[in-house]
Structures are given as structure tokens and as C-alpha cells.
């Protein structure tokens, strides 16, 4: 009797672009269980454990992007060497040259893979030539690991960080699989000190890790995927076919979808890291509770917003060069943040809307200093109004972020403002009962007070190991019941 099917075994080591490795797949969950068995066995042998995790991380990335794992290897080697040379050289001009080389390598890779066709299309439009895009594959997560690696060399240049002596430690930091393909963007100064600490996973870390994996899996594979396939995608594919009220709820659905998708991934990444003995900073903090756009960006994708603040906004001058320059720097930072997400007019519009909103909010705070800068300390009535306004401003920007083209985004906005037909709402709710039940659950989870969420986390932490396993198995079984036949990759895989 043949125990192993050679074809199935072969699939383990082949890259399949139609089935990238993702946390919410049954294949990954099975593989991770096998990985953990060896990881625990190597717990007290630091070098073996580090090399083992690096190899698994590269395998994980290969299963996500194929041969383009070599781009990850190239960035790792080049930035490790450049940081070493930077620390050994006291000449400021040479240090700047080495930093420039690091930035050029990282941004050069980003430019080639993400922006070549964008600028080539602009060139073709200006020269009135036919646009025939180059066949360029976008490696999964390239924006994340290049930004993470750049932050390391910039911090070494600023002398805020001592460079690593061992390349395997740096490779571990850059390639660590829980956050490799969609963040969070982990700072070297936060992560590197943990690499060679004695491996220890407390009961609190293990329980919190399981809780985050369960909630992340539920948000991504149950809520986000279901409402995407069965409602949101249909609306955004052709908004002109639907009334304004249907388009509006399609936008609300997408606001929840992208939150559940991305925060779900972050929850699972943080949870998996905790099971491995590593702590990541929180990446989402109930962003739709924000009462101002400034507060929103302190709660949404925190690792990216803080990266843009520390390495772009401050480098442009921040708020040190007068009010007008501050507003320009805010707008420029968010415009470039939009371009980071994608090379198209709609992403630039998304970034521009947020940049203008941030600048406008800062301007209003200068006129009305009695108002708090973030909205976090507003009294309840004002805070509720602020939350509603901020949520709808963010939703407006999501239209440009999600629509397949700028024209479709404008079409959706026109439908909402000129063809609303509120009387169709009851029929809409009747047509998509499961979608709206899941949307209600998703928003309820999001707006659950932090104290209640913490209490639920503590309940999971105190559960016996067998009950923790049962809770995780139950979540996986639920995912299997509602998942579609095709793998739904995480939204931020495309960035």
C-alpha cells in the first residue's frame, strides 16, 4: 500500500500561483502544526532554531511568490552589508552614500515591480503610442519587507540602532514568516532584541495567541470572505446596475471587509508570533471608533502610519518648518502613501483625500484649540458626531481604493448621490440576509468595548489546553462550512 502520493508530495514543494500560502488555508494550519513540533524540539538550541525558522520562512515565501524569494534574499544581503559598512565608517558623506544605496536598492525593486507599467503607460499617453504592458509579476508583500529593511538601515544611519553582526539574525528579522507578506511592519529595535532571548511562551502568551488566531480567522475567513464574494464584489464590479442605497451598503460592506481582512491577518500574525515566543505591537485599534481623521490614522494600520510618520513625514520636515509646510508635508506623505498602495490614479485619489483631510483637521485645531487634536477626549455627543463624519469620510476614500478604475469609482459616487432610492432598503435586506447578519456581527465585534474584548481574551487564556484546541478546531470547522471553493487571498497581498 502506498502511504504517500508522490504527486501530492510534489505539490508541497511546487509554487502554485493559484493557491498561494495563506494563514487561513487548511494546508497552512496543518503545516504549522508540523512546524511547531520541530520548533519546540529545537527551543534550547538558538542557532538551529534560527536557521530552521529562516528556512521555513523562505519556503513560506516561495509558496507565495515562487522564484521571487530571491528578491527577499537580495534585499537581506545588501542591507546587512550596507548597514555593517555604515557603522564602521565615521565619514558622514560616505554614510549618506551607503544609506542612499540602500534606499535606491529597496525603492528600485519596488519601482520595477509596482510602477514600471504605470510610468510606461504615462509615457505612451504622452507620446501617443499604444500601451502594451510588460508582463511583470508582483511578488507578494514586497512593499512590506522592503520598508522593514529600509527602516533598519535608516536607524543604523541615524545611530539609533547598532547593526547586527550575524547575517542569520538579520535574515530571521526580515523573513520572519508571520509578518512577512502583509505586515505588520516590525521595527528592528523592537524585534531584534527578542531573537536570541531564551525561548519562553507563558500561559498568557499562549492563550492570547490562540485567542488572536481564532478571532483573526473568524474575521478573515468567515466575515470578510463571505460578504466579499456574496455582496461587495457584485456591487463594485458594476455599480451602475444598482441603486444608490445598494451602492452605499456595498461601500459599508467593503469598509468592514477590508478591516476584517487586514486586521484578521494582523491578529493571526501576532497570535502565531506569540506561540513562537515573540511579541509584536498592535496593528489595529478599532479604527472606526475614531472621531477624527487624525485619530483614525493612529488606530488604522498603525505600523504603516507610524512608519510613514517617522521615515517620511519627519524627513520632509514634519511640523518644524511652519504651518503651511506642515500641511504640505501631511498631504505629500499621504499622497506617497497612496502611491505605495498601488500605481494608479485611484490610489493617488485615496491618498490625496486622506492628506487633505489630515491637513484640514490640523488647520481646524489651530483655529479651535479647545478641541482635542485626535478627538479621543471629546464629550459623548460631539464624539458620536465626529465618529459618524470620520467613518463616512473614510468610506468615501474606500470607494477609490476598492474600485477597479477611477471611472467606476465616480460611477458609484454618482449612483449614491443621484439615484439613492431609500425605499429599496427593505428588499435589499431580504435579498442578502446572511450578508447583513455577518455585517452586523462584524461591526458589533468592532465596536465591542475594549473591556469586554479583554474579558473574552482572559476566558480563553484560562481555558485548559484541550478546550483551547477545541475552540480552534471549532473555528476551523466553521471556516470549512462557509468558505468558497477558491482561495481568497488577503487584500494586502497585492501591496
Our CA angle for 144, 149, 155, nearest 5°, is: 125
How many angstroms separate the CA atoms of 49 and 199, rounded?
10
| In contact, 328 and 320? CB cutoff 8 Å | no
All cell numbers assigned to 27? 494546508
| In contact, 335 and 347? CB cutoff 8 Å | no
How many angstroms separate the CA atoms of 461 and 471, rounded?
12
The answer to whether 354 is a known catalytic residue is no
Which H, E and C letters describe 142-211, residue by residue?
HHHHHHHHHHHHHHHHCCCCCCCCCHHHHHHHHHCHHHCCCCCCCCHHHHHHHHCCCCCCCHHHHHHHHH
Spatial CB neighbours of 242, under 8 Å, sequence gap ≥ 6: 235, 250, 415
Nearest to 252 by CA among 226, 231, 271: 231
How many angstroms separate the CA atoms of 59 and 57, rounded?
5
Place of cell 550575524: 166
Spatial CB neighbours of 359, under 8 Å, sequence gap ≥ 6: 326, 327, 328, 330, 331
Among the options 341, 354, 361, 446, which is catalytic? 341
| In contact, 157 and 86? CB cutoff 8 Å | yes
How many angstroms separate the CA atoms of 131 and 122, rounded?
9
How many angstroms separate the CA atoms of 136 and 134, rounded?
6
Spatial CB neighbours of 166, under 8 Å, sequence gap ≥ 6: none
| In contact, 303 and 186? CB cutoff 8 Å | yes
Q: What does the DSSP 8-state code read for residue 491? A: G
The HSE-up count of residue 152 (CA atoms within 13 Å, CB side) is 31
Instruction: Tell me the catalytic residues.
Output: 341
Amino acid at each position: 500500500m502506498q502511504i504517500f502520493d508522490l504527486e501530492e508530495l510534489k505539490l508541497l514543494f511546487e509554487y502554485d500561483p493559484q493557491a498561494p500560502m495563506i494563514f487561513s488555508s487548511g494546508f497552512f494550519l496543518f503545516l504549522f502544526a508540523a512546524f511547531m513540533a520541530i520548533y519546540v524540539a529545537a527551543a534550547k538550541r538558538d542557532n538551529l532554531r534560527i536557521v530552521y525558522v529562516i528556512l521555513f520562512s523562505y519556503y513560506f515565501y516561495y509558496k507565495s511568490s515562487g522564484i521571487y524569494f530571491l528578491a527577499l534574499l537580495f534585499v537581506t544581503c545588501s542591507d546587512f552589508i550596507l548597514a555593517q559598512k555604515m557603522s564602521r565608517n565615521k565619514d558622514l558623506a560616505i554614510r549618506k552614500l551607503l544609506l542612499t544605496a540602500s534606499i535606491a536598492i529597496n525603492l528600485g525593486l519596488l519601482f520595477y515591480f509596482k510602477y514600471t507599467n504605470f510610468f510606461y503607460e504615462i509615457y505612451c499617453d504622452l507620446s501617443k503610442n499604444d500601451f502594451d504592458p510588460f508582463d511583470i509579476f508582483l511578488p507578494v508583500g514586497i512593499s512590506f519587507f522592503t520598508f522593514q529593511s529600509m527602516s533598519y538601515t535608516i536607524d543604523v544611519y541615524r545611530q539609533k540602532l547598532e547593526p547586527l553582526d550575524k547575517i542569520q539574525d538579520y535574515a530571521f528579522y526580515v523573513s520572519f514568516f508571520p509578518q512577512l507578506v502583509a505586515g505588520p511592519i516590525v521595527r528592528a529595535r523592537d524585534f531584534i532584541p527578542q531573537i536570541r532571548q531564551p525561548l519562553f511562551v507563558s500561559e498568557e502568551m499562549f492563550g492570547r495567541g490562540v485567542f488572536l488566531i481564532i478571532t483573526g480567522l473568524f474575521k478573515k475567513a468567515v466575515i470578510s470572505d463571505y460578504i466579499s464574494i456574496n455582496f461587495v464584489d457584485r456591487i463594485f464590479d458594476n455599480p451602475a446596475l444598482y441603486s444608490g442605497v445598494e451602492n452605499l451598503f456595498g461601500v459599508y460592506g467593503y469598509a468592514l471587509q477590508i478591516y476584517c481582512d487586514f486586521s484578521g491577518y494582523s491578529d493571526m500574525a501576532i497570535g502565531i508570533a506569540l506561540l513562537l515566543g515573540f511579541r509584536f505591537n498592535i496593528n489595529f485599534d478599532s479604527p472606526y471608533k475614531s472621531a477624527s481623521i487624525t485619530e483614525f490614522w493612529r488606530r488604522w494600520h498603525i505600523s504603516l502610519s507610524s512608519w510613514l510618520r517617522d521615515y517620511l513625514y519627519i524627513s520632509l520636515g514634519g511640523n518644524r518648518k511652519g504651518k503651511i509646510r506642515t500641511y504640505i508635508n501631511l498631504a505629500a506623505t499621504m499622497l506617497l502613501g497612496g502611491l505605495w498602495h498601488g500605481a494608479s490614479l485611484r490610489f493617488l485619489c485615496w491618498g490625496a483625500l486622506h492628506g487633505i483631510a489630515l491637513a484640514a483637521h490640523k488647520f481646524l485645531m489651530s483655529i479651535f484649540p479647545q478641541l482635542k487634536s485626535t478627538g479621543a477626549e471629546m464629550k459623548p455627543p460631539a464624539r458620536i458626531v465626529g465618529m459618524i463624519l470620520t467613518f463616512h469620510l473614510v468610506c468615501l476614500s474606500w470607494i477609490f481604493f476598492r474600485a477597479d478604475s477611477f471611472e467606476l469609482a465616480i460611477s458609484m459616487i454618482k449612483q449614491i448621490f443621484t439615484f439613492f432610492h431609500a425605499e429599496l432598503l427593505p428588499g435589499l435586506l431580504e435579498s442578502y440576509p446572511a450578508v447583513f447578519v455577518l455585517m452586523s456581527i462584524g461591526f458589533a465585534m468592532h465596536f465591542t468595548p475594549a473591556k469586554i474584548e479583554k474579558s473574552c481574551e482572559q476566558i480563553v487564556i484560562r481555558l485548559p489546553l484541550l478546550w483551547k484546541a477545541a475552540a480552534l478546531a471549532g473555528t476551523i470547522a466553521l471556516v470549512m462550512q462557509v468558505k468558497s471553493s477558491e482561495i481568497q487571498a488577503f487584500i494586502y497581498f497585492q501591496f
